[in-house]
């Protein structure tokens, strides 16, 4: 675990500490902070230093809240928002959201599922505000954490926030879809942006036994990296948790059926949400009627019945079993007449 850091809060020391303690209690009540190491990280890393300003939506645009607002009421609103269990829009360009700080309870769930151990080298895809990289640095140490983002203004901002909070992981400006070969090999890769498919190069930059956790469709896929006589591959199932994130930039245009969001959890899981997951995962392969027929025939499957395999020859999603009977390729959009699900094997 990383060393305890000094906390340069500024004029809102007591209020920030109180708000952070309240957030930790709220997350802990969900069971997402059962690991004492992660609870300590959330208790000690000051989120407000990573969101000195953020945007709240309003009809027709965005309002900006910031730490230096001369109005005490708005400044207090900023601090409360910084420690709310909610995603925050941290960067907007021409009215479009391009970066956010994810919902803290979702971050806690993802970090717990990442199954990080002492000494692990971790690559984060999507630097965002730098807050998640700080939590990882607290857990495994600065030297073992690399975070990458395509936008120079995002990485510069994240690097500054991290330094202010006392953390110095490696922050790289580059295309996260290509990983970070200069810092490989990795024991864990975590993405904080939605993917259309899992980049093959990530598995090549992992050690055997590594774990990859990433938002895909509207779920979270957890893949284990394995070497076999037929080459390296990664395979795993979706978690029960749903998740909605800003799409990864630097890959081809997002496929029909994906949804732009700040990086948070829906208010409740419903059958509509589960059906939308199937629609997103099979986008371009099944039309909605075919997807509905499959969904009902297979007893309206939960997310954890689906999985993904990433191999040297491509990648595919599957229901229940990677050997079939329901398997379909990922990473490509298919037009009319190109076929649907493979029924009878991969």
DSSP 251-273: SSPPPTT----SSB--SS--HHH
Catalytic residue among 57, 67, 99, 197: 99
C-alpha span between 222 and 214 (Å, rounded)? 7
CA distances in angstroms from 276 to 77, 200, 246, 336, listed in the order given: 34, 26, 17, 20
- β strands within 130-243, DSSP E: 145-149, 170-173, 186-191, 206-216, 219-228, 231-242
Q: Which residue has the tokens 């199932």?
A: 237
Q: Do residues 79 and 12 touch, judged by C-beta distance below 8 A?
A: yes
DSSP 87-133: -EEEEEETTEEEEEE--HHHHHHHHHHHT--TT--EEEE--TTSHHH
Q: Which tokens is 80 given?
A: 């409360």
Per the document, the length of the chain is 346
**What's the first-to-final CA gap in the chain, in angstroms?**
42
C-alpha span between 40 and 329 (Å, rounded)? 41
- Cis preceding-peptide flag for 185 (omega within 30 of 0): yes
Q: Do residues 32 and 108 touch, judged by C-beta distance below 8 A?
A: yes
Q: Which tokens is 312 given?
A: 């040297």
Q: 164-193 burial, b if ≥16 CB within 10 A, otherwise e?
A: ebbbebbbbebbbbebbeebbebbbbbbbb
99 annotated active-site: yes
CA distances in angstroms from 299 to 4, 241, 292, 294, 305, listed in the order given: 50, 19, 11, 9, 11
CB atoms within 10 A of CB 308: 26
Active site residues: 99
């Amino acid at each position: 675990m990383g060393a305890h850091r000094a906390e340069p809060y500024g004029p809102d020391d007591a209020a920030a500490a109180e708000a952070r303690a309240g957030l930790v209690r709220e997350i802990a009540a969900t069971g997402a902070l059962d690991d004492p190491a992660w609870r300590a990280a959330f208790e000690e890393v000051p989120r407000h230093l990573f969101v000195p300003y953020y945007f709240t939506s309003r009809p027709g645009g965005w309002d900006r809240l910031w730490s230096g607002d001369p109005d005490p009421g708005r400044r207090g609103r900023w601090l409360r928002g910084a420690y709310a269990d909610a995603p925050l829009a941290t960067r907007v360009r021409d009215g479009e959201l391009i970066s956010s700080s994810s919902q803290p309870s979702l971050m806690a769930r993802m970090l717990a599922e990442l199954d990080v151990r002492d000494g692990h080298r971790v690559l984060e895809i999507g630097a965002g505000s730098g807050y998640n990289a700080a939590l990882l640095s607290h857990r495994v140490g600065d030297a073992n954490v690399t975070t990458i983002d395509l936008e120079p203004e995002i990485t510069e901002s994240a690097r500054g926030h991290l330094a202010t909070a006392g953390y110095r992981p490696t922050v790289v400006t580059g295309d996260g879809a290509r990983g970070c070969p200069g810092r490989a090999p990795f024991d864990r890769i975590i993405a904080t942006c939605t993917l259309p498919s899992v980049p093959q190069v990530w598995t090549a930059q992992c050690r055997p036994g590594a774990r990859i956790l990433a938002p895909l469709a509207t779920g979270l896929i957890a893949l284990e990296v394995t070497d076999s006589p037929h080459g390296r591959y990664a395979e795993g199932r979706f978690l029960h948790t749903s998740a909605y994130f800003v799409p990864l930039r630097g890959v081809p245009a997002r496929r029909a059926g994906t949804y732009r969001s700040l990086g948070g959890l829906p208010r409740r899981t419903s059958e509509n949400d589960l059906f939308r997951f199937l629609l997103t995962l099979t986008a371009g392969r099944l039309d909605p009627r075919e997807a509905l027929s499959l969904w009902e025939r297979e007893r309206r499957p939960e997310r954890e019945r689906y999985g993904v395999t990433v191999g040297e020859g491509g990648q595919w999603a599957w229901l229940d079993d990677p050997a079939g009977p329901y398997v379909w390729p990922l990473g490509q959009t298919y037009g009319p007449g190109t076929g649907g699900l493979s029924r009878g094997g991969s």
